[in-house]
Every structure is written in C-alpha cells, then in structure tokens.
Amino acid sequence: MKESPDIPARPIGHSVQNPERDALSTRRQEFTVGKPKLSHWIIFLVVCCVLGLLVFKTALHLIHTDSKKARIVHAPSPVETIPVRRQTLEEVIGGSGTVQQFYSVLLTTQIAARVLEVPVWIGDIVKKGDLLVRWDDRLIQATLDANRQFVETSNIKIKNETRQVERYTALEKQHMGTPLDLEKAEIALADAYEQLAKATMGLREAEIALERVQMRAPIEGIVLERLVNPDEITHNDQIVMKLGAIDTVLMAAKVTEEKIHSVQLGLPAEVTFPAFPAETFQGNVFKIDPNIDPVTRTFTVYIQIENRPYIRAAYEVPLTLHAEDYRLKPGLSGFAHIRRTAKDVTAIPSVAIMSPSGDQASVFVVDRSGRATPRKVNLGIVANGMTEVTSGLNEAEKVVTVGQLYLKENDKVQSTSKSIFGK
C-alpha cells in the first residue's frame, strides 16, 4: 500500500491562488483607472466655454476700443468726444530775467580841461542836480575876465567913435568939414560895434564854459558807468558818465519762442525776486523784442514796474532817497508771470487738435448721424489743457478727443459715454 505525499496544510482564510483570474482582475483595474470620469468632461467643457467667452469679450473690446481692429471688421470706429463749450481761459506765461533801468542818459563833456573831482561811483544813486564831475576852471576864468575887459573896452571905443561921428556931421553942416572925414568916422564906429559883438560873444562862450566845469545830474537815477577819473584831460564830446532812471524799472524776461504770439502789449504781469521772497511786484508788458535768441530760443519781454521806495518804520527818521531806498536795481534777477485772459470764448481740449503748431490745425467733428468730418480751425490762447478756437466751430458741436488719428473723412464712429460731457 503506497503512501500519498505530504501536502502542506493551507491556513484558514487563505484562498487558493488562480493566475488567470489574477491577470483578468489586473486588466480590469487598469481599464478603470485610465477611463475619464464624467466630472472631468464637465470641467473641461466649462473651461472651454469660459475661454471662448473671454476670447469673444476680448475681441469685442478690441473692436470697441481699437480703431484699426474696428476698421478690419467694418465696425464703427471707437472714439471719445466732447461738446464745444464757452468758458473763460487764463494763460500764464513765465520767464526769468533781470532788472534794467527804464532809460539811460549819456553825459558828454563840452570843454577841454583837466578833471579835478569825480565824487560818485558806479551803483551810486544820485538826485537831480548832484555834482558828478568838476574840471579845472582857471583857464576858463581867465578867458572870462579877458572877454569882460574886451567888452568894456569896446563900449568905451563906441562912445568915442559916436562923438567923432557927431562932430564931423556938425562940421559938414557948417561946410567946415569934408564928407570923407565923416565917412571915416562912421567906418570907425562900425568897426567898434563889430569888436563889441565879438567881445560879447567871447564873454558869453566863456560864461557857458564856466558853467560846464561842473557836471550835475540831469535826472534822478543810478550811476551805470563812470568813464573818467581825476587828473585826466578830457576833450569835447567825450562820454564821461552814464546814468539810468530807476524810479520806474524794466524787467527783461526771457520767454520761450512758442509764446511769441501769446504775449501782447499791456498784459498784466506779476514779478517775484529771490531778494524779496515775501513780495510780488505788479507790472505790465511795456515792450516786446521779437528777435529770437538762436541759442536759448527765447525772445525778450520788457515789463514795466514802479520801483517802490523803501518804507521806513515809524521810529526811523525820514530821509531823502539814497541807494538803499530803491529796492529794485539793475541786474537783480527774478521771475515774471504774464497773465492773458480770454473771457467767454469757444474752447476745446488741446488733445482734440491735430497739427496745433502748423498752419492747418484741424479737428474731427461728429455729426448727428455719427459720422466724423475733419474741419479746419483757427486757434487762440492755450491754458490748462484747453485751447481757444477763434473760428471754425460752433457751440455744442462734438469734437473727437481720443481716436482721431486713425479717422478718415465720413467714417462712422461710436462715442464712448465717459467723455461725452467732458468729465
């Protein structure tokens, strides 16, 4: 009797392994893991819809905001418009510069003599009648005395010659004299009168020369140039001094060339100086020099300012004006604000204007049918982003402020609502 081989006992609860069944189970698990779930498909479709909606919204936004894109699809060009309105514009034109005298006086000498005294220096304030230069008057005084003596001698000679004429006239009437003697006496009298005239002229010239040995200030002002010193010999018509009137001064402000058509005579101006930081000096445009500086590209505007004297405190002793009394002196630097005001004028935003600095400034006007038409305009002052339109537009017409660069005549446009009322 054969014995069967020993078969190991299986643990309780342990199933018998089946290779075919295990392989089939593994394939089912792999198929289950790789198959998309329904929720995944739903999420995918939602994302696609959102992306499509975003693309559509983006395309619509571009069409409504980009003129080029709108033109491609033949849609109305998106623009911003604003109605033309009347308002008050105030343009402030600035420029820095320095103070100058209101006018200057050149003083020349009329005598040839040695200078004895020059009691003033450059920058001194002088009053009318103050001594400026004194010359040596000894030679002139001697000439004056000699001419006085010539006049006296000529008067005596005239008296003597007059008596001689009277004597010869009486003798001729008595037939005791000859006509030749009377004629000689009359000629001598005429010569005496001629000598008196020459002596009188010489005396007057000497008196005038004596007056000129002292040069006095003809105006109240400041010494700008001193061209002579003591012990120098001057000649006739030599310039010896230059004075400037500063009771009224000029502020020579340098203004940029693009403002040359904005500045006009008589415009009010405010001038400030670093030397007087708490004060503002009022003035007006007195003169305009249209010549443009080729380096700085500026022109000069002269502003007239009353030079207010120094106001002394109540406890100070009142004195006549001196150098410290006139505060604004030539050379003082400052800054000018020229104000130009246009009241109740037609104005539009400056950004609406095409070629604002050229000869053919124009804007696009939107009519009631929503079509844009270019129109030429004439411009006035520019202030705070607004430009005056002197002709070419009527009040309440709508002009394009954004998007006009891509417009063509008679283009259909669509205005955005945010700028219709200029807000």
Alpha helix locations (H) across 93-221? 138-173, 179-211
Do 296 and 336 have their domain in common? yes
Q: Are residues 169 and 198 in the same domain?
A: yes
88-122 b/e with 16+ CB inside 10 Å = b? ebebebebebebbbbebeebebebebebeebebee
> What pLDDT, on a 0 to 100 scale, did the predictor assign at position 57?
66
Residue 310 lies in a domain: yes
For the stretch 116-135, pLDDT in tens is 999 999 989 999 999 999 99
- 242 pairs with which residues across the strands? 106, 225
29 is a domain residue: no
Q: Please give the model's pTM, rounded to 2 decimal places.
A: 0.62
DSSP 128: T
Can you give the pLDDT at residue 94?
Answer: 93
pLDDT band at 178 (very low <50, low <70, confident <90, very high): confident
Domains in the chain, number: 3
- 144 and 71 part of one domain: no
Alpha carbons 389 and 400: distance in angstroms, whole number = 15
* Chain segment 350-386, per-residue pLDDT in tens: 888 887 655 678 898 988 888 888 889 988 888 888 8
Q: Report the CATH number at residue 143.
A: 1.20.5
Instruction: Tell me, yes or no, whether 162 and 182 share the same domain.
Output: yes
CA–CA gap between residue 221 and residue 406 (Å, rounded)? 63
CA angle 302, 304, 306 (to 5 degrees): 155
- Provide the residue type at 177 as one letter: G
User: Of 297, 317, 342, which one is at a domain's C-terminal end?
Assistant: 342
- The percentage of residues in the chain with a pLDDT greater than 70, rounded to a whole number, is 79
Residues in Cβ contact with 210 at an 8 Å cutoff, skipping those fewer than 6 apart: 137, 140, 141, 144
Residues 377 and 336 in one domain: no
Q: What is the mean pLDDT of residues 64-76?
A: 59
Q: Which of 198-212, 357-371, 403-417 has the lowest mean pLDDT?
A: 403-417
Residue 235 lies in a domain: no
Last residue in a domain, options 212, 231, 259:
212
Q: Mean per-residue pLDDT for 49-77?
A: 63
Domain contains 20 = no
Q: Is 151 exposed, middle or buried (0-12, 13-18, 19+ CB in 10 A)?
A: buried
* pLDDT averaged over every residue in the chain: 80
Structural domain harbouring 179: 139-212
DSSP code, position 38:
H
Evaluate whether 104 touches 242 at the Cβ level (below 8 Å): yes
Same domain membership, residue 76 and residue 150: no
62 found inside a domain: no
